Amino acid sequence: MTENPAVRVRGLRKAYGPVTALTDLDLDVATGEVLALLGPNGAGKTSAVEILAGHRDRDGGTVSVLGRDPGHAGLDWRAEIGIVPQHCADLGELTVRESVRHFARYFPRPRDPDEAIELVGLTGKAGARVRTLSGGQRRRLDVAIGVVGRPRLLFLDEPTTGFDPQARRRFWGLIRSLAGRDGTTVLLTTHHLEEAEELADRIVVIAAGRVVAEGEPATLAGRASRTLVRWADGAQNTDDPAALVAELTRRYGGPVPGLTVTRPSLEDVYLDLIGDHS
């Protein structure tokens, strides 16, 4: 990680008429980091990503993406960025290979199109018309097009919607290798908490247009210090479950009846966080 963040957002605001999508959003993504943006539907995730990718105008705040303002950035900036948008229904009559090959031409030093197709596991469908793909296969094609230009920064807006479990695992492997081997910075939005936990170096939770929590998946919102110890005669939250269990063992002079130790799942923490906002 370098001192220059790939993405730096301060006080970002966006409203659609009377509906406020983003209020005063601050966000940093370090170079080489995988950051997951979590939040309920309508929290402003897609608005934020689209503003960062230069697809939407903002009402206020400062935004720097790879050192440039996405509202006024040129083609050389675009060549460094990969975007996997939501809701694409284009390319229907082309084949998978034709599509990826076509978009590879836009970039100065693209990946081999067949390699990009292989990365997302669509090699078997390379000759198929895009309109014949299933929803998950179609998303994988979008991801292949997003990475074919060897982007330094990759935006993924709910990339695994419609993936089967096998495709999702494979996709996680792809993102890890992009981040690890190629040093790609990744900003992804997702509803899958397991996915965020699996992939992200850091999680940012937004609700009602602002950041409500951020941190590493293991410690988000005090998750590590909220271990719940239950036993037959009581229950207690603690940040040092081992000490409490040792203490209980001493008290009972042997095995503690009905002992369970549970750390809140990311989902528990997340639902607590957004509970007040949705």
Report the C-alpha gap between 167 and 137 in whole angstroms: 9
Closest distance of CB 16 from other proteins, Å: 7
* 92 vs 275 by CB, closer to other proteins: 92
Closest distance of CB 85 from other proteins, Å: 6
* 108 vs 135 by CB, closer to other proteins: 108
* 147 vs 203 by CB, closer to other proteins: 147
Closest distance of CB 104 from other proteins, Å: 10
Residues in the chain, overall count: 278
**Tokens describing residue 143:** 């991801």
* Contacts with other proteins, residue ranges (CB under 8 A): 16, 50, 53-57, 74-76, 78-79, 81, 83, 85, 87-94, 98, 102-103, 105-108, 129, 145, 149
Closest distance of CB 272 from other proteins, Å: 33
122-142 exposure pattern, b = at least 16 Cβ within 10 A, e = fewer: beebbeeebeebeebbbbbbb
Closest distance of CB 75 from other proteins, Å: 4
* 138 vs 192 by CB, closer to other proteins: 138
SS3 of the chain: helix, strand, coil, percent, to 5: 35, 25, 35
Tell me how far CA of residue 221 lies from CA of 183, 205, 210, in angstroms. 28, 10, 15
Q: What angle do CA 61, 62, 64 make, to 5 degrees?
A: 150
* 21 vs 244 by CB, closer to other proteins: 21
